[in-house]
Structure 1
Amino acid sequence: MGSITLGFQPADSIDVEELDALVIGSGFGGVYQLKKLREEGYKVKLVESGTGYGGIWHWSRYPGARVDSHAPHYQFSDPELWQNWHWKQRFPDHNELRAYFEFVADKWDLRKDTYFDTHITAAKWDEAEYKWIITASNGRIFKATYFLPHCGLAASRVFPNWKGIGSYKGMMVHSSYWPHEQPDLKGKKIAVVGTGSTGVQLSDAVSKVAGELVVFQRTPAMALHMRQVNYDDGEEPITKAEVEKCFKGRADGHFGFDFNFLGKAVFDVDEAERLATYEALWKEGDFKYWLGSYTDTLFSMESNHEAYKFWREKTRARIRDPRIQELLAPEKQPYPFGCKRVPLETGYFDMFNKPNVDLVDVNHTPIVEVTEKGIRTTEKEFEFDIIILATGFDAVTGSLTSIDIRGIGDLSLKEKFQEHGPTTYCGIATAGFPNMFFINGPQAPNAFCNGPTCAELQGDWIADVMNRLRDAGVSSIVADEESEKEWVEHVESVAYSSLLPKAKSWYMGDGIPGKPRRSQMYLGGVPNYYTKLRSCASEGYKGFHFQGLKA
């Protein structure tokens, strides 16, 4: 393993590990990139702040945590993996997903090139050497030609700024910092704050064991019922031959799955056919009611309302209390269906029929402060043994801006994004930061793409860029500001042709007060996105310019 000693350390020298590339994050993006770059002959290491593989699944161990992309979509396409892996459930839980990543690590021999417990705090572009100098909180320093922060969508947690939050004497935990040793929840008085995907999963699971559960809701979740399936040994979601076809079809699916919109609009059919279609999609028990429905559901409010009405009646039928019905599935549609993250659930709405479960709408009775014993609203004080914060993340950009990344002229990535909102080229690079690429970054399909699908598409493209520069003897590549501006305008135009901006959500950066409101993702679909990446490459990486031509 090659290393050098920094000359500016007069006393104790610091070893600097020299690499072709440093990858951050051990989720789908980081793991695939490590494997791909090693195959291409690069000296590369992966660093991970946690103690194991899995990315978000290393951290998300809360009760009920499971993926809502159904098997077999949520896995790598390498035949060495899928031919030898057996899923136990249609929607695997966090334990099974961590086991899958351990299986991948064994098959791909990842551990020899991975540093765990290594949190990167800063990265600075050295303009003289055309290298990144990257430092970690544990003292490690790397010098790398390529800096690949594949940190994912949800790596920067958000905590509420409540009055008195430090005075609480019970257990308070953020859902993504869940203890590895499960705490005893049985019979406890528990609060779950938040009703996004995590809050929905958590509340349902906790309601089964808690003595009392109070869910604090700001916005109702338009969750869909999950049709879970448990597989016996030897039983598969689909045949191995069909799995191979599934992988070939993923890149052609608008959302990285092997299915698409129906190809017709809501009012192209009569009401009887429309209701029959909704019913069939509903029974699938996956994302098809959301992402495999009529083409104009996310683009026409009138059409969207039809989807909402069907969802509302299905949901209200499961709730006995009229007050809770109106809070969870309001008669008046609160926001466009599908324009906030749609969770999948197994018993979330039914749990409010239990005598030990209650719902507090913080719009009507806001939280005033946290006390020693619990939470005080404008109406009353609740006493809790445990407060669980399902309050989400500084999604998409937070994982990047939490690192002090400095590009050309000491340009700060955090300051750039804070001033303008995320500005990228092709959702994979940003002007002013040479040789830096990210998977699932801002203005890529990210949250509207099945994770493994985009990890492989983007990871292959990044490797190809590196190969082209290596073959040409070029030191660096950086996005042009004008091309970046054109991409941002395109992303925004696609977003604003849809209903997405009509909802307040982390899709638009609304999860963080003061964060510039801008589409965090590309809604044009995986096929169109991949076409853009391929055309960029085939035209000599149009939109980028090169520096440091070697002799």
Structure 2
Amino acid sequence: MIHYDQIVVGGGFGGMTTLHKLREKGFNVHGFERGSDFGGVWHHNRYPGARVDSETPVYQLWLKEVLSDFIFTQRFPDWKELQKYFKYAGEKLKLYDYFTMNTEVTASHWNDKESLWYVSTQSNLNGVESKFTCNHLILCIGFAAKKTYPDLEGRGTFQGTSFHTADWPWDGIDVKGKKVAVIGTGASGVQVIQSISKEVGELVVFQRTPNLVLPMQSQEADISRQKERKEAYHQIFNDSIPSSFSGFEFEPDTRSGKDCTPEEIKEKFDDCWKNGGFRFWLGNFQDIMVDKSTNRAAWDYWKEKSSVRVKDPRKRKILVPDEPPHYIFTKRPCLETTYFESYNRENVDIVDINTNPITEVTENGLITKDGSCYEFDIIIYATGFDAITGGFYQMDLKGKNGITISEAWENGTYTYLGMSISQFPNLYFLYGPQGPTAFCNGPTCALIQGVWISELIDFTTKHGFKYNTPTIEAQNSWRKYIQDNANQTLLPYTRSWYMGANRDGNKPRECLLYVRGVGNYFKDINKESNMGYPNFVFVR
């Protein structure tokens, strides 16, 4: 059985960053990735229109070794450009020799007697199972690792082609002239709909909740500007990004909308809308997620801008309702380019499944409550993920005394600093529960957490400790801190995956994210490390 100092699970931004940092410290570290190449979610995202919602240059590995050569051609890179980038970064950092691809980590069990992790893997190519041991285990599985499907009668009986957007066929699929259903209007649904609407024969979208989409204002990247700034990228990140709110190159307005005049509010909203991206969300007034009146003003502006783009009154009412379905931004918005215009096409229709739900999947298509029978050639499930915590439950993960993650989190999610769990020694995770995660640019979060974890591992090893684990008291305090801060916002009013509300079973409704921004998170975790990890127990 092969032994490593550390095993990293996942080959996206988090896995690549953390393995690189541990290798720099001289550790014997190895990674496993279930895909055939680096990229994490961007290795699997290949559906039409798949494009990142973070802008160039912030959406890249913030490692000085890979900041000089690669030039992005798009302001918001699409999946093809991102796959090229990950291949470049893997080669530049010489990470291919340290990762085993096409391999699923099926089980990870802590051995109390030996103070080691026993890790089981299975090859996706030939089914061969292997076992390894390691001192430290780092989960870089992302927040969208477990796909979800609607609980529909007869889903397996459909004789046409059907798949989840995360499983879009590698060879692509010809939708020209076909009758297509898209179930779900989250990020992948929006991107697929606006991309295929011109090609399909007929498209029917089944929507549960209107997506309060924001304008991407996509365009080609300014290549000359990239080249000018490249030498300063590393310094830009170190000087400003860790102190930012969301890891982007723009910040929330320091003013509160409730204190501004209508003219000032409109001026701010106009500026955010014109410049696109997440500015209308994360670059808006600082009280946009706290004050109901400011939030309502943002909704009213969004409604005015969006409603004029949908010509058909019936479709418009479904896409842009008279009253907000929830406080704006309490569900994650996504970026669009021609989403609303897609519905102006005669071959595109939409069904509100709140009032007319899907009751059955048949051999030929779908049946709705009102008795309508829809025939399709293709059904696309754009139904998202068991976000934030779902990936943990996919793995057979056991900590001290054989405790499972389901048992540890039976009464709610408990972590310390959004990177460790008290009953699971020498276990760490990135971009997961109770970290900034979905409110933070992914690569920013990967570097901040990856560096912090590698330093804790280095501290543990250099001091001769077999393992570390946060105290129960620290974990309880961190959970309270997360919930108390979330309760000061509008998030708890909405049933969303931010609040763990898309998970199956009788699970506690709780905020799963750190809401105080990257800069405060950076201070919180560094306070712990600078004080010598007082809230951790170290065992020799």
Same-fold status (TM-score > 0.5): yes
Corresponding position of 1:41 = 26
> Would you say 1:401 and 2:386 are equivalent positions?
no
Corresponding position of 2:192 = 202
Partner SS, residue 474 of structure 1: coil
Residues 312 and 344, structure 2, Cα contact 8 Å, conserved in 1: yes
Matching residue's letter, 2:52: V
Matching residue's letter, 2:147: R
Corresponding position of 1:486 = 477
**2-structure distance, mates of 1:422, 1:538:** 26
Matching residue's letter, 2:180: I
Corresponding position of 2:119 = 134
Matching residue's letter, 1:463: S
Partner SS, residue 448 of structure 2: helix
Corresponding position of 2:90 = 105
How far did 1:403 drift? Answer: 0.6
Corresponding position of 1:342 = 333
Q: Deviations over 1:232-270 (max 9, x none)?
A: 765639733564454232111111112221001112221
Corresponding position of 1:298 = 289
Corresponding position of 1:543 = 535
Corresponding position of 2:403 = 411
Residues 251 and 257, structure 1, Cα contact 8 Å, conserved in 2: no
**2-structure distance, mates of 1:289, 1:17:** 50
Residues 73 and 246, structure 1, Cα contact 8 Å, conserved in 2: no
Query: Which of 118, 139, 149 pairs up with 1:159?
Result: 149
Corresponding position of 1:390 = 382
Corresponding position of 2:247 = 256
> Would you say 1:182 and 2:167 are equivalent positions?
no
Query: Which of 163, 181, 186 pairs up with 1:191?
Result: 181
Query: Which of 423, 438, 452 pairs up with 2:414?
Result: 423
Residues 20 and 145, structure 1, Cα contact 8 Å, conserved in 2: yes
Once the two structures are superposed, the pairs formed by residues 45-444 of structure 1 within 5 Å of their partners are: 45-137=30-122, 138-231=128-221, 236=226, 239-240=229-230, 243-244=233-234, 246-248=236-238, 249-379=240-370, 380-417=372-409, 419-444=410-435
Q: Can you give the 5+ residue segments of structure 2 that lack an aligned partner in the other structure?
A: 123-127
**1-structure distance, mates of 2:333, 2:484:** 23
How far did 1:502 drift? Answer: 1.1
Partner SS, residue 226 of structure 2: coil
Structure 1 length-normalised TM: 0.95
How far did 1:362 drift? Answer: 0.2
Matching residue's letter, 1:40: K
Deviates more, 1:124-133 or 1:323-332: 323-332
Corresponding position of 1:9 = none
**1-structure distance, mates of 2:61, 2:97:** 20
**2-structure distance, mates of 1:130, 1:426:** 23
**1-structure distance, mates of 2:97, 2:524:** 35
Residues 67 and 234, structure 2, Cα contact 8 Å, conserved in 1: no
**2-structure distance, mates of 1:250, 1:353:** 40
> Would you say 1:516 and 2:508 are equivalent positions?
yes
Q: Deviations over 1:51-105 (max 9, x none)?
A: 1110000111000001000111101222332221100100000011011000000
Matching residue's letter, 2:509: R
**2-structure distance, mates of 1:309, 1:79:** 43
Residues 8 and 15, structure 2, Cα contact 8 Å, conserved in 1: yes
How far did 1:199 drift? Answer: 0.8
How far did 1:401 drift? Answer: 1.4
Matching residue's letter, 2:143: L
**1-structure distance, mates of 2:83, 2:489:** 36
How far did 1:335 drift? Answer: 0.5
The alpha-carbon distance between structure 1 residues 229 and 466, as it changes in their structure 2 partners (threshold 3 A), is same
Matching residue's letter, 1:448: F
**2-structure distance, mates of 1:242, 1:70:** 17
Partner SS, residue 420 of structure 1: coil
Partner SS, residue 213 of structure 1: strand
**2-structure distance, mates of 1:274, 1:132:** 54
How far did 1:450 drift? Answer: 0.4
Residues 408 and 423, structure 2, Cα contact 8 Å, conserved in 1: no
Residues 184 and 381, structure 2, Cα contact 8 Å, conserved in 1: yes
Q: Deviations over 1:146-180 (max 9, x none)?
A: 01111001111112221011110000010001111
How far did 1:458 drift? Answer: 0.5
Residues 90 and 237, structure 1, Cα contact 8 Å, conserved in 2: no
Residues 65 and 93, structure 2, Cα contact 8 Å, conserved in 1: no
**2-structure distance, mates of 1:273, 1:113:** 54
Q: Can you give the 5+ residue segments of structure 1 that lack an aligned partner in the other structure?
A: 1-15
How far did 1:202 drift? Answer: 1.0
**2-structure distance, mates of 1:169, 1:25:** 34
The alpha-carbon distance between structure 1 residues 171 and 238, as it changes in their structure 2 partners (threshold 3 A), is farther
Structure 2 length-normalised TM: 0.96
* Residue-pair matches, total: 532
Corresponding position of 2:8 = 23
How much is the aligned-residue C-alpha RMSD, in angstroms?
1.3
**1-structure distance, mates of 2:151, 2:473:** 38
Corresponding position of 2:125 = none
**1-structure distance, mates of 2:234, 2:197:** 39
**2-structure distance, mates of 1:238, 1:427:** 36
Q: Deviations over 1:413-441 (max 9, x none)?
A: 12222x12211011000110000000012
Deviates more, 1:210-219 or 1:136-145: 136-145
**1-structure distance, mates of 2:230, 2:451:** 24
Residues 246 and 258, structure 1, Cα contact 8 Å, conserved in 2: no
Residues 71 and 237, structure 1, Cα contact 8 Å, conserved in 2: no
How far did 1:321 drift? Answer: 1.2
How far did 1:518 drift? Answer: 1.1
**1-structure distance, mates of 2:188, 2:487:** 27
Matching residue's letter, 1:172: S
**2-structure distance, mates of 1:225, 1:44:** 42
